[in-house]
Amino acid sequence: EEIERFEPRVARVAREAARTFNQTVHSPAIVEQIAEAVFSHAPSISIDHAVLERTERGACKVVDYTWSDLGTWDSLWKTFAKDGSGNATRGNVSLLDTTQSLVMSEGPHLAVVGLDDIVVVATGDAVLVAPRTVNASLGTLVSELKAAPETQALAVSAPQEFHDWGNVRCVAQELTCRAQITTLKPGKSTPLQILKDRNIHCTVLVGQVTATIDQRQIEVDANKAFHIPGGASYRVSNSGECDALWFELIPLTPPTSISRMFP
């Protein structure tokens, strides 16, 4: 009621987000998603400013408990279970003569030797190495990554994107092109998109897909390829009973070459 009273637009977006909420399983995690088209209309305001500082119906109570919003690598290290040397690890890692460190990998096997009080985090497209307690300077680093064309994608997009229809995983990226693998669930289709001024070459790796290019349908089996020319609208569908995977090679210049027509 208070959100509706003070920020009716937030309340309206929240109701629509709940209505369009998607929960999908991407082993080993359950990924909960709010539709991008809905969330993009949400005002940028915290619950503190929106309600707590304005309501007359709130109350405060003094409590004594440990709290962390896990906003730093150090706070994450403090939360994780540790080995006998004070190291917290996730993923494929090997440590030697290393103490009081946070070492995590979502991709390559990480080997760390002779370091103390550090954080090493590897994802599919980047590796971070820093003192475990570093905080403020990371924001400066992210700003610099965003400002440089060759590293901008590292700061503004994740190597893997999850959708209700499947996921897209970047496997390599250079200044002029991006290589990615798309996984499409059975009975699902990708959003309808349109190419403005570049071509995309796709090779099906697993399963069979139906590529609709400018309203012309093409059935494509595994180990076969299809080509999407510049200026074409396209959608890919999976009518099979298992996931379909295909490899895409996408030019990155100019940066606004793809427009999504429908969510």
pTM above 0.85, yes or no: no
- Please list, in sequence order, all residues whose beta carbon lies within 8 angstroms of the beta carbon of residue 35, skipping any fewer than 6 positions away: 17, 20, 22, 263
pLDDT bin (cut points 50, 70, 90) of residue 32 is low
Residues 200-216, buried b or exposed e (16+ Cβ, 10 A)? bebbbebbebbbbbeee
Which domains, and CATH codes, for the chain? Answer: 2-52 (no CATH), 73-137 (no CATH), 158-260 (2.60.120.10)
pLDDT of residue 255: 47
Per DSSP, 161 falls in state E
More confident residue, 100 or 32: 100
pLDDT of residue 172: 81
Query: Which range, 38-42, 141-145, 217-221, has the best average confidence (pLDDT)?
Result: 217-221
pLDDT of residue 256: 44
The values of phi and psi at residue 145, to 5°, are -65, -40
pLDDT 10s digits, 105-147: 988 899 999 999 999 999 878 899 999 998 878 889 989 988 8
3-state secondary structure of 259: strand
Mean pLDDT for 7-19 is: 88
The values of phi and psi at residue 240, to 5°, are -80, -175
Give the C-alpha separation, 56 to 197, whole Å: 56
**Is pLDDT above 60 for 59?**
yes
- Please list, in sequence order, all residues whose beta carbon lies within 8 angstroms of the beta carbon of residue 117, skipping any fewer than 6 positions away: 99, 100, 101, 131, 132, 133
pLDDT of residue 189: 95
Helix (H) or strand (E) holding 219: strand 216-220
Give the C-alpha separation, 14 to 126, whole Å: 34
Give the C-alpha separation, 179 to 170, whole Å: 6
pLDDT 10s digits, 231-258: 899 999 998 899 999 999 988 765 444 5
pLDDT of residue 221: 95
pLDDT of residue 160: 82
pLDDT of residue 204: 97
**Is pLDDT above 50 for 26?**
no
Residue 55 buriedness (CB in 10 A; 0-12 / 13-18 / 19+):
middle
7: its two tokens: 């920020």
3-state secondary structure of 51: helix
- Please list, in sequence order, all residues whose beta carbon lies within 8 angstroms of the beta carbon of residue 53, skipping any fewer than 6 positions away: none
Percent of the chain scoring above 70 in pLDDT: 90
Say how many Å lie between the first and final Cα of the chain, rounded. Answer: 30
| Mean pLDDT over each residue of the chain, to the nearest integer | 86
pLDDT of residue 37: 72
pLDDT bin (cut points 50, 70, 90) of residue 6 is very high
pLDDT bin (cut points 50, 70, 90) of residue 217 is very high
Instruction: Indicate the length of the chain as a whole number.
Output: 263
Mean pLDDT for 12-30 is: 67
pLDDT of residue 27: 43
Of 57, 54, 45, give the one whose Cα is nearest residue 11.
45
Compute how many other C-beta atoms are within 10 angstroms of the C-beta atom of residue 73: 22
pLDDT of residue 175: 74
pLDDT of residue 28: 45
Rg (alpha carbons) of the chain, rounded to whole number: 23
